[in-house]
Structure 1
Amino acid sequence: MKKIITLFAIIGLVAFSSCEGPEGPEGPPGYDGLPGPPGFVSKVMEIRNKDFAYNNVDGFYMSGVFNPLIGDASTILIYRLVGTIDASTPIWQLIPVNISLTNNREVYYDYDFSKEDFKIYVRANYDLETTAGDFLDNQTFRIVIIPGAFTGKSVNKPDFSDYNEVIKKYNIDDSKVKELN
C-alpha cells in the first residue's frame, strides 16, 4: 500500500509541476547600468580654447546647452584644464575653485546648470582684464554628466575632485569626448 501511495504522490508531483498557466503581463522597463532616465548614460563634453564673454548681469561667463536634455535628478561636474604633465596627461581641477594669487588677489570659477543648459562664471577681487590671458582667454573645460534618480538610498560616491576617479566610477569613455562650440 505504501508503494502505491508513493507512486501516486510522484505522478501527482510531476503532473502539477509541469502545468503551465497563461503568461502574465510584461513588467515595467528597467534601467540599464546606473540609475537615471532610461537609456541615459554618463558622458563627457568639452569646451576647448574658448574665451569668456562679458555682460553687465553675469560678468565674465561662457554657456552651453544640453542636447538631449539631462534628467531631472542628474548632475554635472565641471573641470578646468590647469596644465599638463605631458602631451597625453592633462591636469583637471574641479570647479568651483578659488585661486589665490600674489598681492591678495583672488580668482573664482563657479557654474550653475539646469536640465537644459549650463553657465560657467569667473570673478575676481581685481580687474580680471589685466590678466585676461591667464583666466579669461583660451580656457578649456570638461563637463561630466552623471545620471541620477530620486531615491532615498545612499550611493557610494567617488571623490568628485579627482576627474580620473569620477570617470572610472561611472564607466565613462573619455576618449570619445564631444566638443561643444
Structure 2
Amino acid sequence: MSALILGVAFVFQSCRGPEGLPGPQGPEGPAGPEILPAVFDVSATFTAANQYRQSITMPSKLEVYDTDVVMVYLNYDVTTIGGKEAKIWRALPLVVPVNTGFFQYNFDFTQYDVEFFLEGTIDLTTLDNTWTKDQLFRVVVIPADKAPERKAAVDLSNYEEVAKAYGIDEAKVVKLEAR
C-alpha cells in the first residue's frame, strides 16, 4: 500500500500542465512604513537669563528611538537664487569666530527633547542680537532603522543633500516653540 501511495505521489509531482490565465488583482494592502524623517523648525532666543539655552520637547506623535539620528541645522543666512529667496542651512555644531575669540551654536538631544545652546571662549553677553535673537533651527529626526542604505551615502552635514535623499517637503515642515 505504501508503494502505491509513493508511486501516485511521484506521478503527481512530475505532472505539469500549461500555466493558466492570471487571476484578478487583489485588494491594495496597507501602506508601508514611512521612510521620511520628521522635520520641524524652532525659533530660539539666547539670553543670560536662560543661560544661553533653549529646548523643545519632541512632538508627542513622534516616537524617537535611541538609534535614530537627530541633526540640527541653523538658518545661517538667506540668499536669492533665480529670483527666489533661499535659506542657507549650516549643520551644528557651528563655530563662529569673532574679534576676541569664538562661540558656537551646539545641541544635544534625547529621545524626548532637543536642547540648543551657545558656548565659547568669549563673554556671551557681548554678542550682538543678530547672533542671539530669533535664531531659526531646523531639526531632522532620521529613523536609522528605516533607511540604512541611504544613510551611508548622504552627507548629513549638508541639509540640501539630506532633504533630497529623504524627500523632505518644505511645505510640511512643522513649527515648534522653544521653551
**Number of positions where the alignment pairs a residue of Structure 1 with one of Structure 2:** 153
Matched, 1:46 2:41: yes
Q: Classify the secondary structure of the residue corresponding to 2:144.
A: coil
TM superposition shift of 1:45: 0.3
Q: Is the 8 A contact 1:43 1:173 kept in 2?
A: no
Structure-1 residue corresponding to 2:119: 123
Give the alignment partner of residue 70 of structure 2, picking from 57, 76, 80.
Answer: 76
Structure-1 residue corresponding to 2:129: 133
TM superposition shift of 1:12: 3.5
Deviation string, structure 1 residues 17-69 (Cα, Å, up to 9, x no partner): 99xxxxxxxxxx996354xxxxxx41210013x312556xx831110011223
Q: Is the 8 A contact 1:99 1:106 kept in 2?
A: yes
Q: Name the CA distance, whole Å, in 2 between partners of 1:164 and 1:12.
A: 58
Q: Name the CA distance, whole Å, in 2 between partners of 1:164 and 1:155.
A: 14
Structure-2 residue corresponding to 1:91: 88
Q: Name the CA distance, whole Å, in 2 between partners of 1:131 and 1:153.
A: 42
Q: Name the CA distance, whole Å, in 1 between partners of 2:117 and 2:90.
A: 15
Q: Is the 8 A contact 2:48 2:125 kept in 1?
A: no
| Amino acid across the alignment from 2:75 | L
Matched, 1:65 2:57: yes
Q: Is the 8 A contact 1:46 1:143 kept in 2?
A: yes
Give the alignment partner of residue 98 of structure 2, picking from 95, 98, 101.
Answer: 101
Identity among equivalent positions (%) equals: 23
Where structure 2 has 5 or more consecutive residues not aligned to the other structure, the ranges are 1-10, 21-29
Q: Name the CA distance, whole Å, in 1 between partners of 2:168 and 2:150.
A: 21
TM superposition shift of 1:160: 1.6
Q: Is the 8 A contact 2:56 2:115 kept in 1?
A: yes
Deviation string, structure 1 residues 63-92 (Cα, Å, up to 9, x no partner): 001122312321111011111113620111
Q: TM-score, normalised by structure 1?
A: 0.70
Q: Is the 8 A contact 1:111 1:119 kept in 2?
A: yes
Q: Is the 8 A contact 1:73 1:150 kept in 2?
A: no
Where structure 1 has 5 or more consecutive residues not aligned to the other structure, the ranges are 1-7, 19-28, 35-40
Residues 71 and 98 of structure 1: is their aligned pair in 2 closer, same or farther, counting only changes over 3 Å? Answer: same
